[in-house]
Amino acid sequence: MTRPTSARQPTRKLLVLTLERTADLLDILGADEFRSRAYRGAARSLEALTQQTPELLAKNFAGIPKVGKGIAAELTDFARTHTFAPYEEAAAQLPPGVLELLDVRGLGPKKIRALWQAGIESLERLREAGISGELAAQKGFGAKSAATILENVEFLFEARKRQLLSTGLATAQALLGTLDGLSPRISGDVRRGLETVRVARVTVTGSAGDVQQRLPGLQQIEGKPVVAGELDGVPVEVAYANAEARGALDLLMTGSAEYREQLQAQAAAKGYDLTGRGLLRGTEVMPMPTEQDVFRELGWSTPLHLPGRDTAQRGRGGGTPETQSQAASPTLALRPPEYREPEHDALWQTLPPAAELIQVSDLRGMIHTHSTWSDGQASIAEMAAEAVRLGHEFLGTADHSRAAHYANGLSIERLQAQLKEVRELQAAGVPLVAGSEVDILEDGSLDFPDDVLAELDYVVASVHSGFTLDAAKQTERLIKAASHPLVTVLGHPTGRLLLRRPGYPLDIDAVLRTCETAGTVVEINANPARLDLDWRDVLRWRTRLKWAINTDAHVPGSLTDACYGVAVARKAGLTAAMVVNTLTREEFLTFVAWQRQQRTLSK
């Protein structure tokens, strides 16, 4: 497996993944089982270690159980060159499409080998076989298995059309730099904070020529004031207009398709034509440089502060709501970009205005982070120092528990040793709270006994395995964990990985109902590959639950992922008062103590 050459060595996690994937390829090829077993055994041994790559490389991977001299030499070469020769040799013997089949959930090496031998050697061919019934007729599959595989293939095809929000934002920001001087603004999916992005979209004041002079690889879209193409493999669109038409352009390019259609239909009813080239009255272009100008021209305005709406005060960094007109129309008010989705249509005016929504600056504590005690890449002290540098007041430790052996999960003895280190760091003035991300086992019990959990300041409970349980069992599992008197936060509740796998089947409303009853906080995992819980679910339950925006950071640089969790929270209309890690360290500890006391009293 080849990775871009850099000074940074591959992580131990990547070493394990590479060994496992090499074993998979050897099984697909039908190679001697001894070889694939050897690589898998080496992977398991590496998983169980606490040392990271630099320490392992210093001794050339010698002395590790099940890592013989041959594999040790291959790993040493991989750590130094970023190329794992056995993987490259095996991959070269397979059609490229066969490698893609490894990304399909439900397909292991043996089934992929059978498909390859049957002439099914790409995702496209597999989809055809699933639709035609050919897959169900294959030995070892059957109708139910084929239907599940087809569903997973369709998920992958849809995922290929989109990018993570983090990728879309980085690309849009790169466009801003390139287009400096043309008043560039982020638009589209990124501006609305969608969890995945079809295209990174930016608007500018200027012409197609102005844009193409700076981005010569982009091409004009016929009939539209847009040039499009790719930037580093990400689809991009740059829409352009002159200054007087900019308001109409920004308005249309930021809304969802449904929102744009609503606005255009309502503008037409007033005798206007709302287009990307401007707001037109007949052939006359109305001078509308901002979105607000368009609304004022058409008699549209921002909404009244409706009775009964959540009016929770902001935490730090509060703002003043926009000036609001008493002539507001419930359908034509200028929505904040976050609310321009069909899911907001019936209720967005009951949500807080943009100035009251939570911001990154409101977050005071990071309460789901990892360190070198489990599978993180920095010490607890280093993670805390970075959190403070970013403006947060404290860091919560939440390394994995013992069931997460693949992530160097902590035994009870190691957890107690970590707790001792945390208390010593606290005494030295490091702002920490001591926690653990405890695995929820398949029966819904927790990976540590209650007397151990009670020693911690707080507990995050999460699912990391057993994804194939049926919906009823998975729901029962999470309900039991969410009801546990020592669980503070339910972590990444659906287990989804955006563009890689959907969440496991469960009745999410039943789980959230239990969290409401038990007073369990629900996590919005800010890792851009997760963003779990989905903002649509958060929107439905926004006022009935307490929330935590957690980065799940494994390296110091990932602490800035908080911005993606905040984007989810804003789309769901959350204010700072609804999120527990906007509390100070002392307030958070008081909250956990109150939470535990309430559960004791309710017994």
State the chain's mean pLDDT as an integer: 89
Contact partners, residue 197, CB within 8 Å, separation at least 6: 162, 163, 164, 165, 167, 168, 169, 188, 189, 190
The residue type of 85 is A
Burial class (CB in 10 A: 0-12, 13-18, 19+), 7: exposed
| Highest-confidence segment of 109-123, 301-315, 484-498 | 484-498
Q: In what order do the strands lie in the sheet with 437-439?
A: 437-439, 460-462, 489-490, 521-525, 547-550
Note the pLDDT of residue 576.
Answer: 97
- Please indicate, yes or no, whether residues 106 and 252 belong to a single structural domain of this protein: no
The residue type of 394 is F
CATH of the domain at 155: 1.10.150.110
Summarised one tens digit per residue, pLDDT across range 96-113 is 889 889 988 889 999 999
- Please indicate, yes or no, whether residues 174 and 154 belong to a single structural domain of this protein: no
In a domain, 292, yes or no: yes
Asked which of 159, 186, 209 is the last residue of a domain, the reply is 159
Asked which of 113, 141, 159 is the last residue of a domain, the reply is 159
* Token digits of residue 524: 């919005």
Check pLDDT > 80 for residue 5: no
- Please indicate, yes or no, whether residues 420 and 397 belong to a single structural domain of this protein: yes
Check pLDDT > 70 for residue 326: no
Candidates 316, 314, 303, 317; CA nearest to 351 is 303
Summarised one tens digit per residue, pLDDT across range 141-158 is 989 999 989 998 998 888
* Domain range for 533: 360-602
In a domain, 145, yes or no: yes
Note the pLDDT of residue 214.
Answer: 95
Q: 86 near 73, Cβ under 8 Å?
A: no
* Token digits of residue 518: 């038990």
- Please indicate, yes or no, whether residues 449 and 569 belong to a single structural domain of this protein: yes
- Please indicate, yes or no, whether residues 372 and 448 belong to a single structural domain of this protein: yes
- Please indicate, yes or no, whether residues 487 and 559 belong to a single structural domain of this protein: yes
Specify the 3-state DSSP secondary structure of 18. Answer: helix
Cβ neighbours around 15 below 10 Å, total: 24
- Please indicate, yes or no, whether residues 72 and 94 belong to a single structural domain of this protein: yes
Q: Radius of gyration over alpha carbons of the chain, in Å?
A: 27
Summarised one tens digit per residue, pLDDT across range 220-260 is 999 999 999 999 889 999 999 999 999 999 999 998 889 89
Specify the 3-state DSSP secondary structure of 489. Answer: strand
As a whole number of Å, the end-to-end CA separation of the chain is 54
Q: 487 near 515, Cβ under 8 Å?
A: no
Q: 285 near 277, Cβ under 8 Å?
A: yes
CA dist., res. 571 & res. 574, Å (int):
8
Contact partners, residue 578, CB within 8 Å, separation at least 6: 312, 358, 542, 543, 546, 547
Percent share of the chain, pLDDT over 70: 93
- Please indicate, yes or no, whether residues 182 and 237 belong to a single structural domain of this protein: yes
Check pLDDT > 50 for residue 1: no
- Please indicate, yes or no, whether residues 247 and 379 belong to a single structural domain of this protein: no
CA dist., res. 252 & res. 203, Å (int):
10
- Please indicate, yes or no, whether residues 154 and 171 belong to a single structural domain of this protein: no
Note the pLDDT of residue 375.
Answer: 87
Q: In what order do the strands lie in the sheet with 278-281?
A: 273-275, 278-281, 284-286
In a domain, 1, yes or no: no
Cβ neighbours around 33 below 10 Å, total: 11
**pTM of the complete model:** 0.82
Note the pLDDT of residue 399.
Answer: 96
CATH of the domain at 284: 3.30.460.10
Mean pLDDT of 527-537: 96
In a domain, 121, yes or no: yes
CA dist., res. 378 & res. 380, Å (int):
7
Note the pLDDT of residue 599.
Answer: 86
CA dist., res. 51 & res. 373, Å (int):
10
The owner of tokens 């503008």 is 267
In a domain, 314, yes or no: no
